[in-house]
Amino acid sequence: MGRKGRRTVTQRNRYIVKIQKLDGHGKHRSEWFTFSNDLQRGLKQMAVTEGLDAALQFLQGALIVYPLGPYIEGVIPPMGLGRILVVQRKKQGPVNRPRAQFLMPERWHGTDAADIRDALRYVQHDYSYWTRAQIAADLAAWRAKYHLPNRFWHWPRAWVKQLSQWRVNRLWRQLHHRSQTR
């Protein structure tokens, strides 16, 4: 067990990331995650070719898809869009992993509505309807935070966030129920 009772992955030189999350009150909080294996390989290759500092700075400020709730066998949790604050290389990191779908700052800060819509489709493409709505609302909230125009805004974020919180609570109840029946 790691700090605060969280499980950790112990492997050699894993890239971990601190993700700034949006909460329902407009304030921000952050959490550490371990990058997925494909991002691990990409960052290791970049560290070899361009240097460790370049690899650690590459994704800083990008938006990445991360789970809002626990993974349960056969169920994908709701996903949100968080901002990468820091990337570090450590020997151990948290078990939780963000998805490998991310938007570079140049892309989500852009002014071309078609380009932003394409970027949004990229990070939404393999999720359920409500998770896609959550990701769209999160992207709009990040753009609003940086005073960027939101021409593609479709969902009131508070309503979508409330629905996602209900979905996360449902997953926790399912997880608790499964642990009680075993």
Q: Which residues pair with 86 in a beta bridge?
A: 18
Q: What is the pLDDT of residue 64?
A: 92
Q: What is the pLDDT of residues 94-128, one digit of tens each?
A: 778 888 888 898 888 888 888 888 888 888 888 88
Rounded distance between C-alpha atoms, residue 132 and residue 64, angstroms:
14
Q: Give the pairing type, strands 28-34 and 102-103.
A: unpaired
* Residue 151 confidence class, pLDDT cut points 50, 70, 90: low
More confident residue, 127 or 149: 127
- Tokens coding 72: 């349960």
| In the block, residue with structure tokens 């952050």 | 30
Rounded distance between C-alpha atoms, residue 139 and residue 32, angstroms:
20
Please check the confidence at residue 63 and state whether its pLDDT lies above 90: yes
The model's pTM is: 0.77
Please check the confidence at residue 55 and state whether its pLDDT lies above 80: yes
Q: What is the pLDDT of residue 3?
A: 47
Domain total in the chain:
1
Q: Give the pairing type, strands 28-34 and 63-67.
A: unpaired
CA dihedral 73→90→30→125, nearest 10 degrees, is -50
Q: What is the pLDDT of residue 153?
A: 58
Percent of the chain's residues with pLDDT above 70: 83
